[in-house]
Amino acid sequence: MLSAGRLMPGLKTLMDPVQPQPGKPAAMDFRALISQSDLVYTKPAARSEAGIPIGGGRMGSLVWTTPSQLRMQINRVDVYGNNCESNSFFERHEDYCGGCAYLEIGFDGQPFPESGFHQHLSVYDGALAIEGDGVSVSAVAWPEQDVIAITVDDRRGAREEIAITLRMLRYEMKYGASRNDRSELEHVVTVPHLSQTATSRLLVNPNPGGGRIALTQEFREGTFCSRSAVAVTAAGGSKLTTEFVNESDVRLRVLGQGPITVFIASAATFDQNEDVAGLAFGQLDAALFKGKEELRRETEQWWHNFWSRSYVSLHSDDGTADYVQQNYHYFLYLMGATSRGRFPPKFNGMLWSTGGDLRTWGGQHWFANLSCYYEALPAANRLELMDPMYDMYSGMFDRCVLAAQQQWGSQGMYIPETVYFDGLEKLPDAIAAEMRALYLRQKPWEERSKEFMEYALTKNPQSSRWNWIQAGRWQEGRYVIKDRGYGPYGPTNHNFGSNAKIAYLFWRRYEYTLDHDWLFHRAYPMLRGAVELYRNHPNLKKGDDGKYHLSWSNSNESVYGARDTDEDIASMRGATSALLRASAILAIDADMRSRWQEFLENLPPLPDSSDRDALSVESYQGPTVWVRGLKPAVKPDGMLPDVNSLPAWFFDFCNVEGSERPTFAIAQATFDHMLRGELRPETPVGILSKLAIAAASLGRADAVQILIPNQMRLAGRQSGAVMANRMTELEGPQATDAERLGRASEALHLALLQSNPPWPGEDPVLHVFPAWPKEWSARYTLLARGGFLVTASMNRGSVEYVELESQAGAPCKLRSPFSAAAVLYRNGRKAEILHGPLLEFKTAKGERITVLPSGKHPA
């Protein structure tokens, strides 16, 4: 069905050694390279979740077929059924987001049989082509505006019609009675869900040149309002007619011969007064004015420009490296198709939901899951795709400042692991006061008040704030909740590391761009907020040893209420180091630097097995390894750092440039122990696992060679879980995801190019191919910290050349990839010869520098 493992012709040509002329980038046939990531189906998707993805960055859908229909569910990144103040979604997995409308294009007969027809997603062009039995279909998602254009050429002779149907996602009674209003031009269905209402409207909009149909949604609860619209029209054919099929469906019929193009537009707003249908109809007008050919041309041009930003070209004799390359570019396609809107796509479904409102894990954002998609993007030189993530977290900043005060009695900001798109709700003062007392363990959990429990009844248990709720059930008409049995603790209740990791991602963008405006306005407030939350936390106290110790917090999702957890120590050290550097760069908060420096200098080391209070080490006899925290702990589950978070690796504590530090030996031992001392061809790597990232960071090419492809294919215990569209549904029904591809892509970057500082807050050092298997050939262009666009080639273990384009004019430190002296060419002219293992040289903004081994001359 899918050519997932088949290599495209011409691969060896792509990997032939190419020696660039100094100052000129190595030539790359991007169409031949990127097309190796195409999807090719020779029969229908086995189920809707395995459909082919198309998206324009804000709006998208999987496309799948039945024998007589082409089907889609139109989704958007900025549609939410509720916000943080909701009291209507207190049962798990019930809250929802993204979905706008079902859409079907129906044909006479059965042009899409069970076998014998061809579907091809061109990743390079961003275009889908389907060749059925006498019917051809092509589709593009226009990146300029929110429009999908589908051209249908029915060559089977006389036809009666092509029918395009819009259908509501919800129209059956769930709670209370639905209200059904009908008129000549509008059908309305309202579905109440406790305090929330979801109103869907079907619209018919006659036009002098034909007909248009639309479906709008409006979600309301209190002051919250989210509205969306999907509008449809067609060009071609001899006549367009519209009709209401029933209370949930509206249809556009296209009569006549020849090709037709169906235009599907969408829009969304949180403004209750904005004409969202008018916005969608305006998108249709723009698309009709351009026409299908111009939409296709602009879509192709956008994707061609997108692919020229960076690439990896990989080859190994057994095809494994080629498979990695194929999945890597496909991951970037998915991000380009979904991450250009106001908010990031949700990890559990992205823009690929096909089951209406059903979305396992609901409408909140988990940072651990979101990070799978976004930590891989800086090196890919796709920083603009990170804007939705940055904008969402910056947008909730004020609410998170209040949450730090209300929930923890601290300062700074508190972004929890699991959070609504708009942050955390403001609590009543009495509830906030009791929450602080309970969560800080100043008041026994058994003494919680009736008022507090009544308030918690209507809160979503997947929210970090209320994650101590295990389950609930209806009993004699009343909803009753049960806690997990660990007091105020749950998997994400007392997690503070996510707050610092988010701030560090803001700092990391500065490191890649050296954009002072970004540092001042965006990164610095986040870093300061993360550090001040920790520094002023009531449970952070200085011990008799003169060190600051944080008690009663979590390590990721399984260790509850421990002391000095690996997550917290790494977060405090990493965020504070970056804050001090940022403060010095910006020359602000000089009066605070001595306090932050004192705080940093008196933090304890990462917890390890040599400490007598280390969690779960009674039977451990091996070398010193990091552990998850120290006793006492409310739930001391597991010894080693969580493989899904590995906090020490996140904050630049462990990489090849820090190999002389004592922590590097501990890191190596910890990694080996995580593998249980054995690396096998079938070693499994989970979808969220950072195990391959750790291997690359440590320079372990032997492990990289196994772990990266195994994570992409989910070898071992999850074998067979990857669907035909290279995504999985392991997070649950209608939670289609590509998390593992993001994690593996980050590991791939680190194996090809590291630009980490030896320690957080220090200057980055560029290191090409630090963990690349000698049996694999590679060429790439990737972005490095310091603002360097790096192009390099390695053939059978030998580095052929390195090129740097200096985008910020920063000084460069490059770990020499050559045993001999290195020759620098600046903009094509021989400039200087450098010696030694570390090459240091100045650059000018826009300058292109080629580094070659001494004695090797340009072609």
CATH number, domain of 66, equals 2.70.98.50
At residue 551, the pLDDT reads 98
CB pairs under 8 A, 24+ apart, for 179-187? 180/247, 182/244, 182/247, 187/244, 187/247, 187/250
Query: What is the count of structural domains for the chain?
Result: 1
Strands (E), 517-591: 540-542, 548-550, 553-555, 559-562
User: Which band of pLDDT confidence, cut at 50, 70 and 90, is reported for residue 402?
Assistant: very high
- CA distances from residue 415 to 83, 93, 707, 744, 830 in whole angstroms, order as listed: 15, 21, 32, 26, 51
Does the CA dihedral 692-696-698-701 come out positive or negative?
positive
The C-alpha atoms of residue 163 and residue 300 are separated, in whole angstroms, by 28
The C-alpha atoms of residue 539 and residue 65 are separated, in whole angstroms, by 57
Do 743 and 731 form a contact (C-beta atoms < 8 A)?
no
User: Which band of pLDDT confidence, cut at 50, 70 and 90, is reported for residue 652?
Assistant: very high
719-756 per-position pLDDT tens digit: 789 999 999 999 999 999 999 999 999 999 999 999 99
Residue 44 pLDDT exceeds 80: yes
- Averaged over 1-23, what is the pLDDT? 39
Closest CA relative to residue 80, chosen from 196, 175, 189, 235:
196
> Would you mind telling me the total number of residues written for the chain in this entry?
859
Burial class (CB in 10 A: 0-12, 13-18, 19+), 856: middle
To 5 degrees, how large is the angle CA 274–CA 275–CA 277?
Answer: 140
554-608 per-position pLDDT tens digit: 999 999 999 999 999 999 999 999 999 999 999 999 999 999 999 999 999 999 9
* pLDDT > 70 fraction of the chain, expressed in percent and rounded: 94
Neighbours of 218 (CB within 10 A): 18
Residue 154 pLDDT exceeds 70: yes
Burial class (CB in 10 A: 0-12, 13-18, 19+), 13: exposed
Do 788 and 780 form a contact (C-beta atoms < 8 A)?
no
Residue 32 pLDDT exceeds 80: yes
Question: 777-784 and 39-41: which strand pairing?
Answer: unpaired
In the chain, the amino acid numbered 169 is L
At residue 649, the pLDDT reads 86
Please list, in sequence order, all residues whose beta carbon lies within 8 angstroms of the beta carbon of residue 693, skipping any fewer than 6 positions away: 646, 649, 743, 746, 747, 750
Closest CA relative to residue 192, chosen from 207, 210, 182, 177:
177
Residue 21 pLDDT exceeds 70: no
At residue 1, the pLDDT reads 40
At residue 268, the pLDDT reads 98
644 DSSP 8-state letter: T
User: Which band of pLDDT confidence, cut at 50, 70 and 90, is reported for residue 20?
Assistant: very low
Residue 275 lies inside a defined structural domain of this protein:
yes
- Averaged over 360-376, what is the pLDDT? 97
Locate 714 and state its tokens: 């989910």
At residue 477, the pLDDT reads 86
At residue 26, the pLDDT reads 55
At residue 11, the pLDDT reads 35
At residue 183, the pLDDT reads 65
Residue 15 lies inside a defined structural domain of this protein:
no
By residue range, what is the domain housing residue 245? 38-308
Locate 366 and state its tokens: 């988990």
At residue 258, the pLDDT reads 85
The C-alpha atoms of residue 570 and residue 626 are separated, in whole angstroms, by 11
- Averaged over 46-56, what is the pLDDT? 97
435-457 per-position pLDDT tens digit: 999 999 999 999 999 999 999 99
* pLDDT > 90 fraction of the chain, expressed in percent and rounded: 86
Element (H, E) at 798: strand 798-806
Residue 701 pLDDT exceeds 60: yes
To 5 degrees, how large is the angle CA 564–CA 567–CA 571?
Answer: 100
Average pLDDT in the chain: 93
Identify the residue with better confidence: 3 or 328. 328
Residue 88 lies inside a defined structural domain of this protein:
yes
618 DSSP 8-state letter: T
593-639 per-position pLDDT tens digit: 999 999 999 999 999 999 999 998 778 889 999 999 999 999 999 89
At residue 19, the pLDDT reads 46
Residue 805 lies inside a defined structural domain of this protein:
no
Identify the residue with better confidence: 167 or 258. 167
672-693 per-position pLDDT tens digit: 999 987 899 999 999 999 999 9
Residue 742 lies inside a defined structural domain of this protein:
no
End-to-end CA distance of the chain: 44
- Please tell me whether the peptide bond between 192 and the residue prior to it is cis, using omega within 30 degrees of 0: no
Residue 14 pLDDT exceeds 60: no
Locate 111 and state its tokens: 């042009």
Residue 154 lies inside a defined structural domain of this protein:
yes
- Averaged over 701-705, what is the pLDDT? 97
- Averaged over 105-130, what is the pLDDT? 95
Neighbours of 478 (CB within 10 A): 8
Strands (E), 442-582: 469-475, 478-483, 540-542, 548-550, 553-555, 559-562
Residue 25 lies inside a defined structural domain of this protein:
no
Closest CA relative to residue 259, chosen from 281, 284, 238:
238
Residue 434 lies inside a defined structural domain of this protein:
no
Query: Which residues are bridge partners to 142 per DSSP?
Result: 147
For the full predicted model, state whether its pTM sits above 0.85.
Answer: yes
